[in-house]
Structure 1
Amino acid sequence: MNRSNLILPSIVISQFCCTSLWFAGNAVMSNFMVNFNLEASDLGHLTSAVQFGFILGTLVFAILSIADRFSPSKVFLTCALLGSLFNIGLIWEGNSLTSILSLRFITGFFLAGIYPVGMKIAADHYEKGLGKSLGFLVGALVVGTAFPHLVKDITGDFPWKSVLVLTSILGAFGGLLMFIMVPDGPYRKPGNKLEILASFTVFRNHKFRSVAFGYFGHMWELYAFWAFVPMILETYSIKHPETAFNIPLLSFLIIGIGGLACVLGAYLSQTLGTKQIAFITLLLSCGCCLFSPLMFLIESESFFISFLLLWGMVVIADSPMFSTLVAQNASAEIRGAALTIVNCIGFSITIISIQLLNVLQAKMNPIYIYIILALGPILGLIALNKKRNST
Structure 2
Amino acid sequence: MTGQPSSAVLVLTFCIAEALLMAGFALVPSLLPQLSQRWSLSATAGGWLGGIFFLGYILAVPVLVSLTDRIDARRIYLAGATVSALALAGFASFADGLASGLCWWWLAGLGLAGTYMPGLKALTDRLPVAVQARGTAFYTATFGVGAGLSYLWIGLLQERLPWPGLFAIAAVCAALSMLLVWCGIAPGKPLAAMPVGHSHWRSVLGDRRILAFCGGYFGHNWELFGFRAWLVAYLTWTHARTPDSWTAMPGLIAALATFLAVPASILGNEGAQHWGRGRWLQAVMPLSGVLAVVVGFSGSQSGLVLVPLLLVYAASMNLDSAALTAGLLTETSPEKRGTALALYSSIGFAGACIGPIAFGVALDAFGRSLQAGWTAAFLTLACGVGFGRWAIGRIGAAPPPTHVS
Contact 1:131 1:269 in 2 (8 A): no
- State percent identity of aligned pairs: 21
Spell out, residue by residue over 1:91-145, the C-alpha distance to the aligned partner (whole angstroms, 9 max, x if none). 2256332111101111111211111112212322242233322221112111222
Spell out, residue by residue over 1:240-282, the C-alpha distance to the aligned partner (whole angstroms, 9 max, x if none). 3445521111111112221221122233344334444433331
Quote the residue 1:76 is aligned against.
77
CA change 1:33–1:179 in 2 (3 A) is same
**Aligned residue identity for 2:395:** K
2:96 counterpart of 1:95: yes
Quote the residue 1:385 is aligned against.
393
In 1, the alpha carbon distance for the partners of 2:307 and 2:61 equals 35
What displacement does 1:80 show? 0.2
Quote the residue 2:319 is aligned against.
317
**Which runs of structure 2 are paired with 1:251-262 in the superposition (5 Å)?**
251-262=254-265
2:18 counterpart of 1:10: no
In 1, the alpha carbon distance for the partners of 2:342 and 2:107 equals 17
Cα RMSD after superposing both structures: 2.6
TM-score for the superposition, normalised by structure 1: 0.89
Contact 1:207 1:387 in 2 (8 A): yes
CA change 1:279–1:132 in 2 (3 A) is farther
What displacement does 1:36 show? 4.8
Quote the residue 1:229 is aligned against.
231
State the secondary structure of the residue aligned to 1:20. Answer: helix
Contact 1:22 1:108 in 2 (8 A): no
Quote the residue 1:27 is aligned against.
30
CA change 1:140–1:106 in 2 (3 A) is same
**Aligned residue identity for 1:90:** F
In 2, the alpha carbon distance for the partners of 1:22 and 1:108 equals 9
Quote the residue 2:310 is aligned against.
308
What displacement does 1:192 show? 6.1
Quote the residue 1:296 is aligned against.
299
**Aligned residue identity for 1:372:** T
**Which runs of structure 2 are paired with 1:215-294 in the superposition (5 Å)?**
215-242=217-244, 244-294=247-297
Quote the residue 1:195 is aligned against.
197
In 2, the alpha carbon distance for the partners of 1:197 and 1:35 equals 50
Unaligned runs of 5+ in 2: 367-371
Contact 1:76 1:179 in 2 (8 A): no
Which of 43, 54, 58 does residue 55 from structure 1 map onto?
58
**Aligned residue identity for 1:387:** I
**Aligned residue identity for 2:59:** L
CA change 1:169–1:197 in 2 (3 A) is farther
CA change 1:71–1:55 in 2 (3 A) is same
In 1, the alpha carbon distance for the partners of 2:129 and 2:210 equals 17
CA change 1:147–1:41 in 2 (3 A) is farther
**Aligned residue identity for 2:339:** A
CA change 1:94–1:331 in 2 (3 A) is closer
Which of 299, 312, 329 does residue 327 from structure 1 map onto?
329
What displacement does 1:33 show? 4.3
| Greater mean alpha carbon deviation, residues 283-292 or residues 98-107 | 283-292
CA change 1:153–1:22 in 2 (3 A) is closer
Which of 371, 378, 386 does residue 379 from structure 2 map onto?
371
**Aligned residue identity for 2:112:** L
State the secondary structure of the residue aligned to 1:142. Answer: helix
Quote the residue 1:123 is aligned against.
124
